[in-house]
Every structure is written in structure tokens, then in C-alpha cells.
Amino acid sequence: MPSKTDNLDHPLRRFGAVPLARDVLDEALSGYRQPNDKVSEWLREGALQPLRRGLYLAGAPLRTSPACLPLIANHLYGPSCVSLDFALAWHGLIPEGVAEVTSVTPKPSRRLSNALGRFTYHHLPLPYYTVGQELGQAADGLSFLIASPAKALCDRLVLSRQLAPLSRGAMRQWLLEDLRLDPDQLGLLNLAAIRACLATGYKRRQLGTLLKVIETLQQELATEPSP
């Protein structure tokens, strides 16, 4: 016998993998005489999954695609933008997958966990935070806010507090050996985006060195003979 969450007419099915704030959920509950009791029932059945207080996701049986973790990160704590290691992996700059969804925010830093995973948010000053944001797209077509490849790398640098201002040689080592960034992907980085970060005046010494090192790497790649 099919469960209640298999019902094709279930009012939560139409939301798919989009996170639901309580006001949106209230619209879906408008036909029920006791909406709070219905929420409790859906939670017990697995038709509704809690993300944090006042934010939910339709349960897995009602979704046609997996949960979109970057989109959930945008909704869990905002304003925020997915960046740092998660964004670097998403853009293919680092070889490893990243379990924790890392974001930046102009609000205080915060760490959140729920059944879907861990989400961390690192504070950055607003003028710098707003640079280099773009829309990413999941396989199911859902869009989310994510740092561009160059901005994600800049964020990774300025938030690495154990790093003093680096020489060019040390910066090159940090990029290629410590982070194990793909040199070919570095060759494609948008230098204008790094210059825009530099123009905000935030962490100028570190970002200035990063710009010079990547300029040199791109020049070297441009002059390498074709295989």
C-alpha cells in the first residue's frame, strides 16, 4: 500500500527541492483547519524535512531531484554566497570534493548543521563581499548564488588567517602545492575579478601578490609550446 508521501497530489510535491520558509508553507496549508497539526503530521511522515527553525524542505519521497546544498546554504543564513573550498571544488579548481558547504556573508560568522550536512558562514566586509557573485545552476535547473572562481580563490586567501602576507614564491607554492589548484584552471581565471577585489581596499597586500603570481602563471602558460 503506498504511503501518504507517495500521493501525486500531495500539496508539497510542487515545491520540489526549493527550501520553504514558513510563510510559503502557510500558503500550502491554507486549506487546513489546523495547520500546525498538519505540519507536525508531515514531519512525522517524512513529507516535510526541517532545515532550521522556520525553514523546511519537501521530504525525499516528494522530490524528483536531490536536495541542492548550495541553494539550501543561501536560504539557511543570509545574505550569503557559497564560496571558499566548496565553490573552488564546484568550479573544478581543486581536485577533492568538499563535504562542508562553505559560504561568506556580511553578517557575523556562523556554523549550522542539519540532517543534510554542515554549513559554515565566514564574515567579510560588505563592499568586498558583494564582488564576484554569480548564479550557479544545479543539474535540475535550480539556481543559487555562488562566488566566481576568481572570487572564491580571493576569499580563500583573505580568510586564511594563518597566512601572513606571502612572498611571490610562497604564494605560488600555496596555490600549486598546498591548495593543489589545477594550473590550467588558474590560466583561465578572470584577472579583472581579482582586480575588482583589490580595488575594495580589503587585504590589499595579499590580493596584490595573488594577482601578480597569477599574471605570471598565465604568461608562462601562454608561452608554453603546444603538445
* DSSP letters spanning 179-199: S---HHHHTT--HHHHHHHHH
Single out the residue of 196, 77, 179, 72 nearest to residue 131, CA to CA: 196
Amino acid at residue number 146: I
Cα(225)–Cα(227) distance, integer angstroms: 6
Q: Is the pLDDT of residue 120 over 50?
A: yes
Mean pLDDT of the chain, nearest integer: 90
pLDDT at 156: 97
| 92 secondary structure, DSSP code | T
Place of cell 535550480: 142
Each residue of 142-188: pLDDT tens digit?
A: 999 999 999 999 999 999 977 767 799 999 999 999 999 988 889 89
Interhelix angle for 149-158 vs 204-223, to 10°? 140
pLDDT at 2: 43
Cα(167)–Cα(132) distance, integer angstroms: 25
Interhelix angle for 149-158 vs 191-199, to 10°? 40
Cα(212)–Cα(164) distance, integer angstroms: 17
pLDDT at 170: 92
Cα(56)–Cα(60) distance, integer angstroms: 12
pTM, two decimal places: 0.89
